[in-house]
A and B are shown apart, each in its own frame.
Chain A
Amino acid sequence: MVEPLYEVLARSAYVSLTATLIASVIGIGLGTALGLARLPGRAFLTAVVNTGMAVPTVVVGLAVALLLWRSGPLGDLGLIYTVRGMIVAQVLIATPLITGITMSALQLLPPDLPDQLRSLGANRAQRVVRLWIEARLPLLAAAMAGFGHAISEVGSATIVGGNIHGQTQVMTTAIVENVGRGEFGVAIVYGVILLGLAFVINALLVSVQRPGASWAQS
């Protein structure tokens, strides 16, 4: 039952894309609130977000597994060793990164922009949408950075997913397993694919961050 490579690849992409999507919704929302609003405890929350960016993924995996194990408080959900459980863990991994980048992206916009928009009669929701449009490239960069972080992590995927063949094995856990079995060829193939993905993501990041990029001028 050795699984075709493309199924592992597709599962990796599915888990990390779904997680990135959810993390982007949460992270951009949270980052906007922290970047723009004058909230009480904002400094503390900012510190929490920055800490979250530095938490090792195995620690996130351990925390999520403790909650999701059958003997854990959320065990009845039956999420341990499932793709959904892995998505939950990767959301937690990607969210701080996306939040942090969103926050700094919005703070880098011209400081008088919100006031200008207000003077033009924009309500709060309209102002936020306008700021998002202004910052669309860094926000895209935030999401891509989140995806890159999620798809390349191995700690939480191992602990929460369990590397179950045909069910929760993803590229990174497949690499670890194949190295353990001395099957370096297979491990190298997965490694090259991941490397290629990382390169594509970074190339896209560079091109969206460059204002002169042809497709970004519209």
Chain B
Amino acid sequence: MLPGLNVMRTAISTVIAVSLLATAACGSEEPEAGSGPSGTMILATTTSTQDSGLLDEILPLFDQGSDCVVKTVAVGSGQAMEMGERGDADILLVHSPEDEEQFMADGHGSSREAVMHNDFVVVGPPDDPAGVADVGNAAEALTRIADQKASFASRGDDSGTHAKELALWDEAGIDPKGSWYIETGQGMGDTLTIADQKQAYTLSDRGTFLATSNLESDIAFEGSDDLLNQYHVIVVDHEGTNTGCAEDFSSWILDRPAQDAIATFGVEAYGEQLFEPDARN
């Protein structure tokens, strides 16, 4: 082995130790323990819940009634579930149903509940060069895009939206390849911007599309049954996770106040409802 490795390891440990000492006096981020569960909880979620602004709107409601400190990490659904598998997240808010069922079947989650849904839309240049507006379903829309070799921007990041897109290609019996098929590897907002700039089509959840500013792209196709976008909340089952806070969060988001907040989110800013709550009762 290189002699440098030990030196590096010692150096890194020293830095961490010194930093800890130096910041120890800076006040803890943990709140005072109350009667309920407390502590830090990591919420791994899809980029769409953050990019649409939903979480910024509803999370303060949870913070008010709880001693739990929520740390929201916006990643793709695939990455969120990987974090859950490793125990690096306590709770997931994701939209990739097939992968979620696998996640539950593998015993990584203790509960999975439907929170809300909206739909995906096929977004494209305003003049719709591939002419997808009048097709019957989303798979046909993608088929037409592929036939015309019109540019298509894929998330390519193992997110829920990416999984949906791949399922649609699969349904259409097409293996998308070629210079017209761009994989961005980035979040929904970034991908929408890239698609807009490159005059490409892309698949987006409706919420993020409406919330992303400065786009010329329009909805090219919408409203078919194969575009349903369903979000679930999953409590992670792993040693060392903050189960108390996670269960609190899960029952909170399924309860009336949060569900009402989800229903009204976006009506004022975008003139339409972005998410349809599923657990209102």
Contacts and interface: CB of A to CB of B under 8 A. Distances in A.
Among B14, B71, B190, which residue has the most Cβ atoms of chain A within 10 A? B71
Contact of B40 (A22, A78, A95): A78
B4 A22 contact: no
A155 B14 CA distance: 22
Interface residues of A, number: 42
A132 interface: no
Given A69-B86, A70-B87, A184-B214, A164 B73 contact: yes
A83 B215 CA distance: 34
A67 B12 CA distance: 10
Interface string B9-34: 00010111011101100100100000
Interface of B: 3-4, 7-8, 12, 14-16, 18-20, 22-23, 26, 29, 40, 42, 51, 56-57, 59-60, 71-74, 86-88, 186-187, 189-190, 192-193, 211-215, 240
Contacts of B186: 180
A91 B15 contact: yes
Closest 10 CB pairs of A and B: A180-B189, A182-B213, A182-B214, A71-B86, A180-B190, A182-B212, A181-B189, A88-B19, A1-B56, A162-B73
A69 B89 CA distance: 10
**Main SS of chain B's interface residues?**
helix
B19 A87 contact: yes
Given A25-B18, A69-B86, A181-B189, A81 B71 contact: yes
B195 to A, nearest CB: 12
B72 A181 contact: no
Contact of B192 (A77, A182, A183): A182
Contacts of A163: 74
Contacts of A1: 56-57, 59-60
A26 B86 contact: no
Interface of A: 1-2, 18-19, 21-22, 25-26, 41, 44-45, 48, 63, 67, 69-71, 74, 77-78, 80-84, 87-88, 91-92, 95, 162-165, 167-168, 179-184
A181 B19 contact: no
B256 to A, nearest CB: 21
Contact of B56 (A80, A88, A92, A165): A165
Contacts of A184: 213-214
A67 B8 CA distance: 13
Among A67, A78, A84, which residue has the most Cβ atoms of chain B within 10 A? A84
A162 B71 contact: yes
A126 B40 CA distance: 48
A29 to B, nearest CB: 11
A67 B16 CA distance: 11
B159 to A, nearest CB: 13
Nearest to B22: A22
A179 B191 CA distance: 11
A7 to B, nearest CB: 14
Nearest to A41: B3
14 contacts: A26-B14, A41-B3, A44-B3, A48-B7, A81-B71, A83-B23, A84-B19, A162-B71, A162-B72, A168-B71, A179-B193, A181-B212, A182-B214, A183-B214
A163 B15 CA distance: 23
A88 B72 contact: no
Nearest to B85: A71
A162 B240 CA distance: 20
Contacts of B56: 1-2, 165
Given A48-B7, A84-B23, A164 B72 contact: yes
A117 to B, nearest CB: 29
A52 B3 CA distance: 16
Contacts of B190: 179-180
Nearest to A176: B190
A21 B51 CA distance: 35
Given A70-B88, A84-B19, A87-B23, A48 B4 contact: yes
Nearest to B2: A44
A84 B18 contact: no
Contacts of B19: 19, 22, 84, 87-88, 91
Given A44-B3, A95-B15, A180 B51 contact: yes
A26 B57 CA distance: 42
A134 B174 CA distance: 71
Nearest to A70: B88
A26 to B, nearest CB: 7
Given A70-B88, A88-B19, A81 B73 contact: yes
